[in-house]
Every structure is written in structure tokens, then in C-alpha cells.
Amino acid sequence: MTESYDVAVIGLGAMGSASLWQFARRGLRVVGIDRFSPPHDQGSTHGETRITRQAIGEGASYVPLALRSHEIWREVEAQTGECLLFEVGGLTISHAGQSDTPKRHGNFLTQAINAAERYGIAHEVLTPADIRQRYPQFRPETDELGLFEPGAGYLLAEKCVAANLGLARAAGADLKLSTVVRGLEPGNMGIRLDTDRGSLVAQKLIVAAGPWAPALLGEPFTSILTPTRQLMHWLNFDPEWKADWTTSPVFMWLHEDTRKGFFYGFPSRDGTTIKCADEIGTSRIDPDAMQREIRPAAQANFVASHLEGRLQGIAGVSTSVSCIYTETPDSHFLIDWHPKLENCLVVSPCSGHGFKHAAAIGEAVAQLLTDGRSNINLIPFALGRFGLQGE
């Protein structure tokens, strides 16, 4: 007989694993499906760490998700005994008159400060002299400002996914790993999922498949969602800077009015390297054929474009890895019903800034499907902004 579920979740990265646990803890018969065995290094959720912050510069609609996510991560930690969220502080540096951002969402620094003030999030605005004195590893220019958020920090990406999946399994979820969904078909009994290991039926479906979502879902998603290749680098630093880099906050630095003028980084976790990355606007890639090898020229360009003259004590690239963003035209999230497939919710191809919100998105999605509405407003992430409507 064909297996039948209340809910199926396709893709078990940040969003999918969080959603799976929320459905399972509500007592629903739920199955999670992934083409790999998460946590894995083939998609968007790997590379050890992800920044989390609550004074969101991308727009005020994200702040409730970030605030709630911190609460949920602490709950996950309490239930699993894992340390996942490290509130080491976060520093955003930008020119005072920065007119654009990597995400094209207006004045990022100003919006982040406004969000902090509106939601009562602890913060300080720092002058260049303040930054240099407190964090000598950073060398801001005289017309740059800093926003310091003590409650910001980082999450351990792979451990977060593993914790979500462990809780989901303990609550009764089925997991079908190393399983590829080949097609989706509506029917009288629900949505039929045809996989390379057989078929199953679900009354409702969550697609959180990241870069594999466009091919699975068809139009309009093949036009709206663009998978792109991104790079992360681990850099050596001189031993005399160890104290500064091991106690560093996470940081984001916007130094030009274009997407290319942006990079971010983390404190050292191993005492010898720091992780940094930027956001490169590449053309659409095939997630199954993406170039994984990273050439030395790309590493050298990253250092020259971002780090020289800004970070102190850096001694070259140790290693680099690639990952995938799945981007929308306006870089905002996409959470909405499929306009052609009833009871199919597409969840947050999140353009590279979504991990910090994943825990709350999982909860909101479960509320939406079980209660008919979510506590946090998801309307800003709907298809309507592209002239389309979900079911």
C-alpha cells in the first residue's frame, strides 16, 4: 500500500528541518524527504556557522522572526543538550550615507538602527574611534559608523539541522533520506510524491528544497528562483592577533553602494583561522553540476577586494568551500502557496539571509497549516509582490 501522511516536507536544511520538528511535535503524521543525508555540504546549510542578529537591516518584517528564533533555539538547546546559539555580539560597519545594500533594501545601517529602536533591541552606535579602540582588528574609515548589537552572534549550522531532525524523529516523524522526489501530482487522496524509492501521498506538502525547488515546482518558480554559487573562506591570522580574533564579534561590512562591496565574518573557533565570506552575484547554476573547486585567483580576489586595509593580522586563505543561495528578484523571502498545486506551500528560498529566521519560520509554517494562520505575519513574503497569487 502507498504510505499516507498528513504532511510531507521536501528538503531538510534550515527551513525544512525546523518545519518537520514543529509538525511532529504537534502530533501530525509527517515525513521528511531529502536527496542527501542532512546535515550535508551540497546545498545551502553547511560551512559550520551562520550569523544571527535581531536588528534586521533588510526590513522590519524580519525582526519578529529573528526574535522568536532566538527563543526557539534556546528551547532546542534545552531539549537536546547541544550548544547551538552563541551570542558573542555583532558589529555592522557602513558609511554613514550608504545609499544601497547588498540586498538592495535601502539604507541597511539606518534600517537596522531603526529596527533596534522600534523593538527595544539593545544596541550601540559606534564611531570609527570607538571601533578601533574596542576592536583593534578592524580599521574603519573616518566616515564609517558601526552598529553593535550585543545579542547578535552565530549559530552552528550543521548542528542546528541535526538537532531539529533528532527532535522530529523522537516526536514520531519519518525520515526518507538519500531519496529524490521526481514529481508531484494532485489526486483525490492528496498530493502524490513520486520518488526514486517509490511513491507516497500527503494531504499537505511543504517544499523547502532550496536550489532544487525550481526544477521540482515548475513555473512560476523556475523564473522567480535563481540558484547561485557562493564561496566561504577560512583565513589564517598572525599569532599576535589571537586574543582579538578569538573574542571578536561577528561582523558585516558594507563598503560600497553595490552588492560587491559587502563581506562578513566570524570570530575564530579554532584559535588559528577566521571564517569570512561575501555575496557574489553569479549567473544561474545547476545545483547538481556546480563547480566545487575554488581557484586561488578567487581567494586572492576576495582578500584584495574586502580585507586589505580593513582587517588586521590576516595571513592568507587557509581553505575555501562553496555553497548555494537560492535567490528571488528582490532578495526577500518567498513563503506562499503554490498557485497551481493545491495544498503545497513553498517555504523560503531565502536569498542567503535566512538561517537566523529558520526556527521561527518552521513554527509559523506549522501554525499556518494546522491553525489556518501564523502568529507572525508572513504576507510580506507572498507571491503577490511578483504579480502572482498563491492558492
DSSP annotation string for 242-298: HHHHHTPPEEEEE-SSSTTSEEEE---SSSSEEEEEE---PPP--TTS------HHH
**Predicted confidence band of residue 391 (pLDDT cuts 50, 70, 90):** low
What value does the mean pLDDT take over residues 121-129? Answer: 98
Tell whether the model's pLDDT for residue 123 goes beyond 60: yes
Q: Note the pTM of the prediction, 2 decimals.
A: 0.96
Question: pLDDT by residue (tens digit) across 290-308?
Answer: 999 999 999 999 999 999 9
Amino acid at 374: S
**Predicted confidence band of residue 209 (pLDDT cuts 50, 70, 90):** very high
**Predicted confidence band of residue 212 (pLDDT cuts 50, 70, 90):** very high
| % of the chain exceeding 90 in pLDDT | 91
State residue 256's pLDDT score. Answer: 83
| % of the chain exceeding 70 in pLDDT | 96
Give the integer Cα–Cα distance in Å for 356 and 359.
Answer: 8
Question: pLDDT by residue (tens digit) across 62-121?
Answer: 999 999 999 999 999 999 999 999 999 999 999 876 555 555 456 899 999 999 999 999
Residue in the block written with cell 497551481: 340
Q: Is 112 helix (H, G, I), strand (E, B) or coil?
A: helix
Tell whether the model's pLDDT for residue 30 goes beyond 90: yes
**Average pLDDT value over all residues in the chain:** 95
What value does the mean pLDDT take over residues 324-341? Answer: 95
State residue 388's pLDDT score. Answer: 78
Tell whether the model's pLDDT for residue 208 goes beyond 60: yes
Choose the weakest-confidence range: 134-148, 173-187, 224-238, 257-271.
257-271
* Structural domains present in the chain: 3-46+157-225+330-386 (3.50.50.60), 90-151+226-327 (3.30.9.10)
**Predicted confidence band of residue 332 (pLDDT cuts 50, 70, 90):** very high
State residue 372's pLDDT score. Answer: 96
Q: Of the candidates 352, 386, 387, which has an alpha carbon nearest to the alpha carbon of residue 51?
A: 352
Torsion sign, CA atoms 219, 174, 21, 229: negative
